[in-house]
C-alpha cells in the first residue's frame, strides 16, 4: 500500500525560484513561476509532490522544474494542530496550517490526518475539494 500512496496524484511542472523539497507549499510569484509560500497567500500554487502518478507537461524543460500536485493526495509540510478534514492554507515558509474560515483563494487542500505537533508532514488531498 505504501507504494500506491506515493503515486496517487497528478502533477504539472512549474519553474521554481529554488529546488524546494517535496511537501513544500508554493505560490505563484518570485523570479520564475513559483516561489516559497507566504502566510495565508491568495497566490497559492500548491504542494511539491514526491512521486506523482502522472505529470501532465512532463517534457517541460528549465532550471528547477518542480512537480506541483493538481489533484490527489500528497505529503505536505504542516505546522500546528490539525484535525482530519480541516481546510489548509499557507502558514508561510513553505508550510500549511489549518484554517476554519479561510479566505477565497487561500485553500491548499484538506487534511487526511490529525496532527498535534509543532511541525511535521501529513497526507493532504488537493484538487476539487
Collect all residues with Cβ–Cβ distance below 8 Å to 71 and sequence separation of at least 6. Answer: 9, 10, 126, 127, 128
Q: For residue range 43-57, what is the model confidence (pLDDT) as tens digits?
A: 999 999 998 999 998
Predicted structure pTM score:
0.91
User: What's the rounded Cα separation, in Å, for the pair 109 and 74?
Assistant: 10
Mapped onto helix, strand or coil, the DSSP state of residue 105 is coil
Task: Output the pLDDT for position 37.
Answer: 96
pLDDT for res 1? 36
For residue range 76-112, list pLDDT tens digits in order.
Answer: 999 999 999 999 999 999 999 999 999 999 999 999 9
Task: Output the average pLDDT for the chain.
Answer: 92
Task: Tell me which residue has cell 494542530.
Answer: 81
Amino acid at each position: 500500500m505504501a507504494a500506491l500512496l506515493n503515486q496517487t496524484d497528478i502533477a504539472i511542472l512549474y519553474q521554481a525560484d529554488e529546488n524546494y523539497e517535496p511537501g513544500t507549499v508554493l505560490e505563484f510569484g518570485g523570479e520564475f513561476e513559483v516561489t516559497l509560500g507566504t502566510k495565508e497567500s491568495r497566490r497559492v500554487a500548491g504542494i511539491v509532490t514526491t512521486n506523482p502518478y502522472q505529470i501532465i507537461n512532463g517534457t517541460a524543460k528549465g532550471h528547477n522544474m518542480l512537480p506541483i500536485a493538481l489533484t490527489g493526495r500528497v505529503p505536505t509540510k504542516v505546522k500546528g494542530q490539525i484535525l482530519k478534514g480541516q481546510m489548509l492554507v499557507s502558514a508561510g515558509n513553505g508550510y500549511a496550517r489549518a484554517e476554519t474560515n479561510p479566505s477565497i483563494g487561500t485553500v491548499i487542500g484538506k487534511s487526511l490526518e490529525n496532527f498535534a505537533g509543532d511541525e511535521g508532514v501529513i497526507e493532504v488531498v488537493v484538487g476539487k475539494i
